[in-house]
Structure 1
Amino acid sequence: MDDIQLMRLSPKLLTFFWLLCLVIGCLSPCAGGHPHHFPHVRSVTEVPSNGCDNSSTTSNCEAYALSLNMNLSADPCVEFDEYACGRFYKEAKYSPGETSITSFSIAQSKVMDFVSDMLREDVKPTDYSYQSLPKVYFKSCLNEVAVEGVVMVEVVVVVVVVVVVVVVVVVVVVVVVVVVVVVVEVVEVVAVVVVVLVVVVVVVVKVVVVVVVVVVVLVVAVVVVLIVVSVFVLMIFAHHTPGELTLSDFQGERNSTVLTAYETYSRELAIELGAEPSVAAEDAKTFVDMQQELLKDVVEGSDLLQQIFETTLEDLYANANCTWLGVPQTITTLFGLTSVTLKTDERVVTFDKKNFKRLGDIKAILETKSER
């Protein structure tokens, strides 16, 4: 009976194993599954024309890598976007007469073109391999063009300290005045004996009282001025918390304070990662300009926004090596995600500002990878 049942199960088992092998073959890294829908963006899983797949030789893969001006430490079966995210500033030379551009800018351009086409052609996020492109922004360096740190907290701390000091001074003054008045009364009782001394003490007391009154008035005036200035500063900065970029910022003027600060941050980041200052300045400007143009397409494709924003950050980092702004996973890991806020029309990621000093460490890591 057991042999008969086993014979009956064999076709089912064979069918199951054939299906399992088929699924594994479709999902393998270089097997060509889930290709992108746009010809100018090569899929992560697309098989190159030179045969760079699981069965290809090392020489073929190396030749393919060299043809794309890639570092040999990169996996030639991974698309150029992801490689550029791992190697920010390796210049890609173009033909004579053309301007040289960094691989960082190439990655930005390719990713943004892809998202723009996705929105224009109504391609659902589940139709392509990355499956997650929420709006992720850097925490901008606003210290060059705005108040350092969180303005509201600093102003409140200053006001509280000043008020406490004023209260202590007033209490001390009141105690001194009471003591002086008591002393004056006692002195007046014995004034017959020490008339001259009493006169001197009374004069001194009057002078002290006048000085104390003047000091109290000055302190109160300073407190009032500080409060007025604090309120004025809060009125200026309360509408926008330093350190966040929003959709409304990119829809505003290009020369706004926030976008200028974002461009400044991008330039400093590029310089830290090895770019020449002139190249970094041009790249930073182009970088912000491209994002502003891209967001116009995002707004036009508003029917897809809800689907895109439903993607969690965990899905983003699990399914892609870089965000749609081209931020490599290496940098997001080293900076350390500190807070995420989901608002009505945006998803904002902020990074701990104290970790900006670790850009040198990131640069060293990238250089180490390039030497392997």
Structure 2
Amino acid sequence: MDASVDPCVDFDQFACGNFYKTTQLQEGETQRTSFSALVDKNTENLRVILEEGIKPEDWDYVKKMKIYYQSCIDEIIPGPEGLKPYLDSDFAKEYPTLIGQNWTGDATFDLDAVNTKYMGFFVDALFSFKILPGLMDSTTYTLRLVDPNLGLTTKFLLRPRTDSVLLAYEAYLRKLALLLGADPAVAAQDAKDVVDMQIELAKIIVPKEERRDNSKKYNPMTLAEIARNYSFIDIPRALRSEFSKGNVSLSDDQVVTVLFPSYFEKLEAVLANANKRTLMNLYSSMYAKNKLLKRTNEMRELYLEWQMALKGKTEETPRWQTCFNDVTYAFSLAERFLKSA
């Protein structure tokens, strides 16, 4: 992103104000704002905690964060051996692009089962959820149903199909599949179809300019109501599966704030027109991208190539920072508490 562009353009101008002015970029950065110094300080404090080793007095979630961080630091394995755990997994064996034209999963494809399984590995291809302070009462926390986490933001996905960033993203998915042993022709067609699918999803995501009014985002529904209103996809099943991992049960009368009901209302038609192979490839490619992001030197080079096309980035992010970002994403709620401890 060009540091000369005003980042307040997509936010409330009064709230953003002069506090979000861009400042001089530091080495390896593509953007720096007035928030950056505060973020840097918090990052360094948390990094010290993660790298100091497990202490007997650490809370369980802190121990898990430290283990996760260290396993990420030690993760890079040179050559084909780095990809072997993934290629031996069920995830690779159900990835249509890697199977090729002989994929026979069309008849047995179960969207609800696939969605529930992959959401457990941070692949939120069709929708996501967050636990955040209440929209109407910030002293409480609410479960929110939100947009999917696509490979690109709508800012890029809604550009003309010949846009250089869209083509670079398509090339990234194609080359990722090639590194995993896919047939070149199959990889090219499937990558194109996955990007096209994400474009269709981006078209029904509520634009940023319509997201500023909190009253319009306050749409509480019970899980039972969500099941009735959006019966084409089993949203409660996916949410219950995720919360069960923390031994939390969600009842039918559990209230969820659906931020943008219009997205889910339009999602049914998009899914009805979607090819099952493409849907499976959407989940599979997003999982592979997340799992293998920097697993080998070849994957690291491919990712840097993609970041160069997207952000003009010419240097790889330090490994500690990549692992730090992974930890804070995987343990987002715990990280919030750790900052305040």
User: Which has the larger share of helix?
Assistant: 1
Q: Quick check: which has more Rg, 1 or 2?
A: 1
TM-score, normalised to structure 1's length? 0.26
